[in-house]
Amino acid sequence: MSDEVARYEINRRVRNILVSHNANMTKISYTSSNRSVCVYGSLCNNDNSDFNMSSVRALVSDLINIPRVSAVQFDLDNWVIVAEPGELIITKGQASEILQWGKSKEDPFL
């Protein structure tokens, strides 16, 4: 399968998964390249309500399991999702609101 056909097929599958989970397609975008998928924007339902944690987990699981995809990256306005091999972190909110490694906001090295 050519790279262009594979990319088209991956994008088609990503769209089908997002639609099947009732994601509002006017608020979320995606792209694929070299066996990687990037999802960005705001993740919300068709009625603009927020996803719940189990729905996000199911959506991420479906995206991770797309054939010929080795990495899925997320840059969402309303969820922080880290999907690495052997690790899945999902947190509601923006990345700027979440402090990594348990650091305090008063830490002078932040």
Residue 22's pLDDT is 97
Look up the CATH number of domain 3-102: 3.30.300
Residue 5's pLDDT is 79
On whether the pTM is more than 0.85, the answer is no
pLDDT in tens, the chain (110 residues): 677 778 999 999 999 999 999 999 999 999 999 899 999 999 999 999 999 999 999 999 999 999 999 999 999 999 999 998 888 999 998 765 554 555 445 554 44
Which residues lie closer than 8 Å to 37 by C-beta, 6 or more apart? Answer: 10, 14, 30, 31, 63, 66, 69, 71, 72, 73
Domain boundaries, the chain: 3-102
E strand or H helix at 54, and its extent?
helix 53-64
Distance CA 50, CA 43 (A): 7
2, 16 in Cβ contact below 8 A? no
